[in-house]
Chain A
Amino acid sequence: MGELVRTIDWSPLYLSIKTGIVATVLTFFLGVGAARQIMKLNNTAKAIADGILTLPLVLPPTVAGFFLLLIFSLRRPFGRYLLEGFDIKLVQTWPGCVMAAFVIAFPLMYRNARAAFEQVDITMIYAGRTLGLSERTIFWKIVVPIAAPGLASGTVLSFARAIGEYGATTMLAGNILGKTRTVSVAIATEVTAGNWDKAGFWVVVIILLSFVIVAVMNLIAGKNRKNGSGWM
């Protein structure tokens, strides 16, 4: 065991955590923003937009990977444009890991945020308006705090999904040790190579990591919930 820990290359762990954090920050703000914008649409537009934004959740991640490659591949116009115009490259790079994790985790954040916002009593918003508050103040100071438990659970789920991302990540970002090999990619690679002990090690690491993060977030959410113990 000691021998195993000494020889292990820790880069997949750092990469996973880094990817998870950056992707979660992105999903948080874009998910909240998307939820807010979509609530302003009429019912038909809402149904269509909601369907598109939710697709990555229900499709196999490889389908998302396919589309990501279709967009960002250096052999495709947009990918080439990004590289030549802005020196941005997503294929076989760490930003590709983030992009893949973001796309897959986004629907979880968006859906949780929207559900949380829709549950906010509309008279709260009316009250804010009659008190002369701006829409921005109403959103950030009244709506977001009321929706906080839903936003928190959306964040936790997004993070958990982001650090576990495999399918879209391997397709877009590949599997380069120290660059794009995250823990979930490492597990598959080690198993393929027959290194069951290393694969098992990463499995334990990722279980512990996920469990600790979810447990900590639950504790925080529980502390903020002041109105009793719920209905059971």
Chain B
Amino acid sequence: MALKVKIDKKFHGFHLNVEFETNGGCMGILGASGCGKSMTLKCVAGIEKPDSGRIIHNERVLFDSEKGINLPARDRHVGYLFQNYALFPTMTVEENLKIALTGKGKETGSQVLEQISRFQLKGLEKRLPSQLSGGQQQRVALARMLLCKPEMILLDEPFSALDGFLKDTLQLEMLELLNELNQDVLFVSHSRDEIFRFCDRMILLANGERVVNGFTKEIFRKPEKLEAARLTGCKNISPIERISDHELFALDWNIKLKTDELIGDSIRYIGIRGHNLVPAEKFGEENTMKVSLAGSAHTTFQHQYLVQNAKGSSAKIWWIREKSKYDTEESESIPLYLKFPKEDLLLLS
């Protein structure tokens, strides 16, 4: 199983230029809204036509601008789960499933029945999509998509239309389903948590360009690029001046930092995740900063503090503590010193 994609497309003053390959499994496409990730999916599905490029799935050419091949969407055998699920509003659940089998042979009735029980839709057959919950709508959309026996599955922000409570349960169900199907999957999301949970490999898009490409866990551990650090949730990033192979000066934070890693010539920024900062006993320890509190917020499970260098620097630094350690106490007092552990520093180009 393999999918090779190379797309070049200009639209509304935006230039999408993306290239990637998958080797089976679930491939994530992470990016902020408007970065071109949905357009990429639409090009693979045959809904939109790239200006040039190639899309090949398991040796089957779906699109090739040089050879003039452009299979229509209906012949690509691609299952597409739309962000809003795109259930046909005038049809009942049953009719929504049945129409997917139009012109695809006999025994449609029994296939629909089978799908209804597989996706726990019994009792909902006669309902209209507007009478279903978000989770039920998603199950109908999945059931309908799989009736066509797709050879590849495209998921476009599959959970963004759901509320938090449902989301976790449905994500587990979806994981199970995808494992069971064992097909090529492209999973588009702006949520790093979803990509982390679902995808072994990922690419990261910014402004229509691929920023990084690789194993998800590796990219989260070591983003390497400024955009990648931001999109994987690194809140603290500062431009740097290189001092030596293992020493640099963080300009925004006004602090000299030692690094484990060699600082290459291409490194322009330093980053550290908010929860990697640790309280320190005293000044003078390496990579330690005297801080003053600039603001704080308390979410359900986290204390979020905005601190700044007491020595003078207006740049804010996020420091995040998980709440479980401190129960629900919402203390505004913070340690005097914070340490930037060497091993958690992200060198970015």
Chain A interface (Cβ < 8 Å from any Cβ of B) = 121, 123-124, 126-127, 129-134, 137, 141-142, 145-146, 148, 226-227
Flag if B73 contacts A126 (CB, 8 Å).
Answer: yes
Partner of B47, one of A129, A146, A148, A226: A129
Chain A residues near B91 (CB, 8 Å)? 145
Flag if A124 contacts B47 (CB, 8 Å).
Answer: no
Chain B interface (Cβ < 8 Å from any Cβ of A) = 42, 45-47, 72-80, 82-84, 86, 88-91, 99-100, 102-104, 128, 130, 144-145, 148
Chain A residues near B100 (CB, 8 Å)? 131-132
User: Once bound together, how far apart are the Cα atoms of A146 and B91, in whole Å?
Assistant: 9
Chain B residues near A141 (CB, 8 Å)? 99, 102
Flag if A123 contacts B82 (CB, 8 Å).
Answer: yes
Most buried by A among B90, B103, B104: B90
User: Once bound together, how far apart are the Cα atoms of A126 and B49, in whole Å?
Assistant: 13
Flag if A130 contacts B47 (CB, 8 Å).
Answer: yes
Min CB–CB distance B27 → chain A (angstroms): 18
Q: Which 6 A-B pairs have the closest CB atoms?
A: A127-B86, A129-B73, A145-B90, A130-B80, A132-B74, A123-B86
Chain B residues near A146 (CB, 8 Å)? 88-90
Flag if B88 contacts A129 (CB, 8 Å).
Answer: no
User: Once bound together, how far apart are the Cα atoms of A129 and B102, in whole Å?
Assistant: 12
Partner of B79, one of A123, A129, A130: A130
Number of residue pairs A-B, CB distance < 8 angstroms: 70
User: Once bound together, how far apart are the Cα atoms of A146 and B45, in whole Å?
Assistant: 24
Residue of A nearest to B80 (CB): A130
User: Once bound together, how far apart are the Cα atoms of A226 and B47, in whole Å?
Assistant: 31
Min CB–CB distance B321 → chain A (angstroms): 42
Flag if B84 contacts A123 (CB, 8 Å).
Answer: yes
Chain B residues near A132 (CB, 8 Å)? 74-75, 77, 100, 104, 148
Residue of A nearest to B89 (CB): A146
Whether A129 touches B74, Cβ cut-off 8 Å, given contacts A121-B86, A227-B130, is: yes
Min CB–CB distance A55 → chain B (angstroms): 33
Min CB–CB distance B130 → chain A (angstroms): 5
Chain A residues near B102 (CB, 8 Å)? 133, 137, 141
Having A127-B80, A127-B82, A141-B102, one finds 17 other A-B pairs with CB under 8 Å, namely A123-B84, A123-B86, A126-B42, A126-B82, A127-B86, A130-B45, A130-B46, A130-B73, A130-B76, A132-B75, A132-B77, A133-B99, A141-B99, A145-B90, A146-B88, A146-B89, A226-B128
A-B contact pairs, 8 of them (CB 8 A): A126-B42, A127-B86, A129-B46, A129-B73, A130-B46, A131-B99, A131-B145, A137-B99
Min CB–CB distance B93 → chain A (angstroms): 14
User: Once bound together, how far apart are the Cα atoms of A123 and B89, in whole Å?
Assistant: 12
User: Once bound together, how far apart are the Cα atoms of A148 and B88, in whole Å?
Assistant: 13
User: Once bound together, how far apart are the Cα atoms of A227 and B131, in whole Å?
Assistant: 9
Chain B residues near A126 (CB, 8 Å)? 42, 45, 47, 73, 80, 82, 86
User: Once bound together, how far apart are the Cα atoms of A132 and B84, in whole Å?
Assistant: 19
User: Once bound together, how far apart are the Cα atoms of A141 and B84, in whole Å?
Assistant: 20
User: Once bound together, how far apart are the Cα atoms of A100 and B92, in whole Å?
Assistant: 42
User: Once bound together, how far apart are the Cα atoms of A22 and B77, in whole Å?
Assistant: 44
User: Once bound together, how far apart are the Cα atoms of A28 and B106, in whole Å?
Assistant: 34
Residue of A nearest to B90 (CB): A145
Chain A residues near B103 (CB, 8 Å)? 134, 137
